[in-house]
Amino acid sequence: MLNEQAQIPIKQEVEVVQRQKNSPACHFCGGQYSISHMCPAKGKQCSKCRKMNHFAKMCKSKVVHEIETRSEVEDGREFLIEFIYTEEKVEKPYALIKLTGNDSELAFKIDTGAEANILPLKDFNKLARKPALLPTADVLTSYTGEQLKVLGTANLKVQYKNQTPQTHTFHVVCTDRAPILSRQSSERLQLIKFVLSISNPAPIRPVIQKLLNEFSDVFEGIGTLPGTCKIYLKEGAIPTIQPPKRVPFALQAMFKEDLDRLELLGVIEKVTKPTQWVNSLVLVRKADGSLRICLDPVDLNRAIERPHYPIPLFDEVAAKCKGANKFFKMDARNGYWSMVFDKPSSELRTPCTASINGTDTHLD
């Protein structure tokens, strides 16, 4: 009796092991378990698809390493045709183009938004001498995204007015619209040209034009203030000649242009005789890339007898403008050039470089 009771649990244990061994593999972890809550993949994330409750080795998601897209059109170009038609009778930009060798003319619509020439099939069939219709894989897409059916391409010799005939490629399309001439062909045939800037100056008001005509001398040239400016030297001042400073080769052309411009304006003039004082020049590059030519009279500044004149404060000037109701904005960029030196003082400020020797007649 005791032996029979002892054999019962042994028999049950064998049956459990056999059921576990014969049970199918788990779809979530790959193991064999008789009870679903015993699966170790429960609550775990797959390292392949990032989904929950299964291991990567049992993942059913497919990994795509490469996507190959096949199309009926191989190695073809895609062109955009931007045309809009209207039912209203308005003047349209058409150009009468002669088709050389066919003794015929067609009115092509100039479309600067089109990237390809369009020749309708009905017009192609009217040609006396039809060129070979070559197969093509080009894709024509309209402004709305619709693809046009292209039958092929044809090379035609075209001529506008008295120009030399040119060969252009046309896409033959099934459409009842007018032929289209692309931007590239329109440029080659000199039907259009691109203007990079548009200048539309505002008209001058009559009252301003009257002032410009009445005081025309005020608006021409630099203009000068009355009188001349004189430089006084200290007693016993010794003249000094500064050695010329070399101008970098990259700036020589620009420097020469500025000197010619200043000479044309009368700001400087050439000196063909010896002078007791010779000053050097300093070139400064502006932010816009142009040159600022500065006189560097170091020794002359030490020898000048300076007049002492207090510069008025802004408050003093503003007090004198009491009651004024009209103010003008003036460009004083070259204001110092309006003060002219007398002849002896002008010779004191003679600049010298390796390429120019001139006299500064105006105050810099």
Could you give the domains of the chain? 22-60 (no CATH), 78-188 (2.40.70.10), 226-360 (3.10.10.10)
Residue 71: both structure tokens together: 């199309």
Residue 76: both structure tokens together: 């073809």
pLDDT of 309 higher than 80? yes
- The model's confidence at residue 264, banded by pLDDT at 50, 70 and 90, is confident
Of 46-55, 96-105, 135-144, 180-189, the poorest mean pLDDT is in: 96-105
Q: What is the DSSP letter of 35?
A: S
pLDDT of 324 higher than 50? yes
Q: Are 129 and 101 in contact (CB under 8 A)?
A: yes
Rounded Cα distance between 327 and 247, Å, is 43
In the beta sheet, which residues pair with residue 120? 173
C-alpha distances in Å from residue 234, one per residue of 239, 330, 350 = 11, 36, 18
pLDDT, residue 363, reads 43
Contacts of the segment 53-61: beta carbons below 8 A, 24+ positions apart: 53/28, 54/27, 54/28, 54/29, 55/28, 55/29, 55/30, 57/30, 58/26, 58/27, 58/28, 58/29, 58/30
Among 97, 117, 58, which Cα is nearest to 189's? 97
- The model's confidence at residue 68, banded by pLDDT at 50, 70 and 90, is very low
- Say how many C-beta atoms besides its own lie within 10 A of residue 33's C-beta: 16
Mean pLDDT across 7-25? 49
pLDDT of 316 higher than 80? yes
Q: Where are the beta strands (DSSP E) in 48-103?
A: 78-81, 94-99
Q: Residue 108: phi, psi to the nearest 5?
A: -90, 140
pLDDT of 283 higher than 70? yes
- The model's confidence at residue 12, banded by pLDDT at 50, 70 and 90, is very low
pLDDT of 303 higher than 60? yes
68-90 b/e with 16+ CB inside 10 Å = b? eeeeeeeeeeebebeeeeeeeee
C-alpha distances in Å from residue 283, one per residue of 255, 263, 270, 280, 300 = 9, 17, 19, 10, 19
Mean pLDDT across 144-165? 84
pLDDT tens digits along 165-218:
888 899 999 888 888 888 888 888 888 877 766 666 678 888 888 888 888 877
pLDDT of 69 higher than 60? no
Residue 23: both structure tokens together: 């049970």
Q: By CB neighbour count within 10 A (0-12 exposed, 13-18 middle, 19+ buried), where does 9 fall?
A: exposed
Mean pLDDT across 326-333? 80
Rounded Cα distance between 34 and 143, Å, is 64
Coil vs helix vs strand at 127: coil
38-42, 144-148, 226-230: range with highest mean pLDDT: 226-230
Among 165, 148, 179, which Cα is nearest to 73's? 148
Q: What percent of the chain has pLDDT over 90?
A: 8
Torsion from C-alpha of 26, 28, 34, 40, nearest 10 degrees: 130
State how beta strands 104-110 and 180-181 pair.
parallel
